[in-house]
Structure 1
Amino acid sequence: MAGNIKIRAKSSNGVTTVKALMSHEMETGLRKDKATGEPIPAHFIQEVTGKWNDQVVMTAFWSGGVSKNPYLSFKFNGGEKGESVEISWVDNQGQSESGTAEIS
C-alpha cells in the first residue's frame, strides 16, 4: 500500500510545530467485507517517528484504534527556517513510508 505524507512545519520563538497528514487505510481487523462476509485483515500503522536534522524528536506507537488517513501534530524545542523535518511510519505488515519538509 503506497501512500504519502503531507507535512508542514513552522518555527516560532524557538518552538517548531509539525503537522502531518498520512494516507493509510488503518484497518482494525474487526470489520467484514460486505460482499463476501470474510473478515478484512488488520492493516494499521504501528510506529511513527519524527526527526529534525536526523535527530529523533517524537515517536508514537499506534494500534488499530487510529482512524483512516491519520492526522498528527506535535511540537519540539528547536528548529529554524530552512532546516529539515522528516516523518516516517511502519505498519503491521512491514510496509513503510516517509516524507520530509522544510521548516518555514
Structure 2
Amino acid sequence: MRERFSGVLGTPDAAASLPGQLARLQFAAGALAYPADVATYQEGGRVCLALGRPRFRDAALQQACTRQGAAAAWAQAFARFGDDAVHQAAGRFCVVMVADDGREAL
C-alpha cells in the first residue's frame, strides 16, 4: 500500500515536489499527497489519513471504524495509545497521523 501515499518532510514548499493529480496536505514540516479515495479525518489541528481495512482489537475502536470510518478510529487510537496505536489493529492498512502542530507525522 505504500505507493498510495507520497510525502516530503523538512521543507516548507514540499507540496510543489509531489506527484500531480493527487489530493495534498501541506503542514509545517512537509506535505503528503494521496488519492481522493483515501479516508481522512480532521480534528483540531490533527489530521489522519487511512487506507485499507484495519480490524481493531479494542471494541470501541472497531465500533468507531464501523460508524465513522477508519481514519476517525485511527485518530482515536493515536489519542489513546500514542505511537503504539498501530499495535491495536490487524489486517492490511496504512495510516498517517499528522500532529497538532504539523511538525510530526507518524
The TM-score normalised by the length of structure 1 is 0.27
Q: Which has the higher strand share?
A: 1
The TM-score normalised by the length of structure 2 is 0.27
Instruction: Tell which has more relative contact order, 1 or 2 (C-alpha 8 A, sep 6+).
Output: 1
Q: Which has the higher helix share?
A: 2
